[in-house]
């Protein structure tokens, strides 16, 4: 499972990419609006930080299919053809995904809450579908079961569309999504940090340090 970072914050992106083996960045209108800055320069800066070989998913702002396509084409022309254009899985979005697929523009169907939305998006030519796990759980649904269903459907019909798990509330949901065979997930910087933390790891590292220093002091291996 690949890890993508769900933010448009440049400082968070720089920091996380220096540490974690990330595959890319996803944004949406909510995340972008938090940055309160010019949109295209921000997208260009994100691309520059992460590099051209990383995945960059950028969401359209329009809700109408022709406008979605126009925005998507603008993004591809102004940035690069490697980007994934995120399109909400509505009727208008489905039309846009089909048109963008014809044009060779890569898409991610977003705000997916059912297996059938995912299957329709895949049939329309979406490269990724993004099921919202935590939001579905909060509505009384089962986000992990949804991921499992979508993975099963795509395997069953031999579809190449991939599953990008999105909307997480805790590390356990991420672990469950991995076990459900999602191809990728997108998560917040805070959750990414939480994934690596365990008190026993910190205690173990501290004990290694103390034991080493009892015999070798502050000297390093290359000084011995």
Active site residues: 86
CB 180 within 8 A of CB 147: yes
Please report, to the nearest 10 degrees, the dihedral formed by the alpha carbons of residues 41, 47, 48, 52 taken in order: -150
Q: Which ranges in 37-188 belong to alpha helices (H)? A: 39-50, 65-78, 91-103, 115-124, 133-138, 143-156, 171-179
Which sign, positive or negative, has the C-alpha torsion 179, 31, 27, 71? positive
Shortest reach from residue 91's CB to ligand E4P, in Å: 19
Q: Which ranges in 59-132 belong to alpha helices (H)? A: 65-78, 91-103, 115-124
**Closest CB to ligand E4P among 75 and 130?**
130
**Closest CB to ligand E4P among 4 and 120?**
4
- Binding residues (CB under 6 A) for ligand E4P: these are 6, 26, 28, 110, 130, 132, 134-135, 166-167, 186
**Closest CB to ligand E4P among 135 and 181?**
135
Shortest reach from residue 12's CB to ligand E4P, in Å: 14
Shortest reach from residue 219's CB to ligand E4P, in Å: 47
**Closest CB to ligand E4P among 28 and 65?**
28
Q: Which two tokens stand for residue 102?
A: 């014809």
Give dist(CA 52, CA 56) in Å, integer: 9
Shortest reach from residue 130's CB to ligand E4P, in Å: 5
């Amino acid at each position: 499972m690949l890890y993508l970072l769900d933010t448009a914050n440049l400082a968070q992106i720089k920091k996380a990419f220096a540490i974690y083996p990330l595959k890319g960045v996803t944004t949406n209108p909510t995340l972008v609006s938090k940055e309160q800055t010019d949109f295209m320069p921000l997208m260009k800066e994100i691309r520059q930080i992460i590099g051209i070989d990383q995945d960059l998913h950028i969401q359209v702002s329009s809700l109408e299919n022709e406008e979605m396509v126009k925005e998507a084409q603008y993004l591809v022309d102004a940035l690069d053809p490697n980007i994934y254009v995120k399109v909400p899985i509505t009727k208008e979005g489905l039309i846009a995904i089909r048109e963008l697929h014809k044009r060779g523009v890569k898409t991610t169907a977003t705000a997916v809450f059912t297996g059938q939305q995912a299957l329709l998006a895949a049939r329309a030519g979406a490269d990724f579908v993004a099921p919202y796990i935590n939001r579905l759980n909060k509505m009384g649904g089962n986000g992990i079961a949804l991921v499992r269903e979508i993975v099963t459907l795509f395997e069953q019909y031999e579809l190449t569309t991939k599953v990008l798990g999105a909307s997480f509330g805790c590390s356990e949901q991420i672990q469950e999504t991995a076990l459900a065979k999602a191809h990728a997930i997108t998560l917040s910087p805070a959750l990414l940090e939480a994934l690596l933390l365990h008190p026993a790891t910190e205690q173990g590292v501290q004990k290694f340090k103390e034991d080493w220093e009892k015999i070798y002091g502050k000297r390093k291996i290359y000084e011995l």
